[in-house]
Amino acid sequence: MRRASSVPGMMLTSAAVVGAWGYFLLQGVRDPLGGINSLWPLFGIANQLLATIALCVATTILVKMHGAKYLWVTLVPLSWLVVVTFTAGWEKIFSPLPDLGFLAQADKLSAGPHTAATATLIFNARLDAAVCAVFLVLVTVILIDSIRGWVGILSGTQDARLTETPFIRSELA
């Protein structure tokens, strides 16, 4: 699992991710409101957090190639994206407004009459809150590790050697 080239590791992690998203799709089909209400907020947050990870990678490559010279090119949008997305994720989990916060929505539904459909909606709201929290924690870990790497490279305590494939001009142009 430590080696990126490990085929069993790639198969296991790919199966876990596909299985988790498959489970969410199944939950969406079972959702009394049609599923899109459960999946869409998570999709939006996950999409922006993926962009955050991509900007961390791009920033690392720029720091390795050019030091601090072009750091602002990716660091400015990364900073904005982190502030906005983490704020939105926090609000989606902890907002006291049932129309906005997953947990407030679950609490509101719990206070009313209980049917099978209500139980499913409560479970989905709490599951969305948990998954959103996990996403935020994992991206925080990636962000902290990236910052640690950037500081190490810029201070000279970490190797700035590029391991990415070098640019090759296309012969089609």
Contact 145, 118 (CB under 8 A): no
Can you give the pLDDT at residue 52?
Answer: 96
Tens of pLDDT, residues 14-66: 999 899 878 877 776 777 776 677 777 888 899 999 999 999 999 999 999 88
Cα four-point dihedral sign 113, 118, 123, 127: negative
7: DSSP letter: H
pLDDT band at 173 (very low <50, low <70, confident <90, very high): low
32: DSSP letter: T
Residues of the chain above pLDDT 90, percent: 58
Relative orientation angle of helices 116-155 and 7-30, to the nearest 10 degrees = 140
Please give the radius of gyration of the chain, using alpha carbons only, rounded to the nearest integer: 20
pLDDT band at 130 (very low <50, low <70, confident <90, very high): very high
The closest of 88, 96, 74 to 143, measured between CA atoms, is 74
Tens of pLDDT, residues 77-105: 999 999 999 999 999 999 999 999 999 99
Can you give the pLDDT at residue 80?
Answer: 97
Q: Quote the CA–CA distance of 110 and 119 in Å, as a whole number.
A: 8
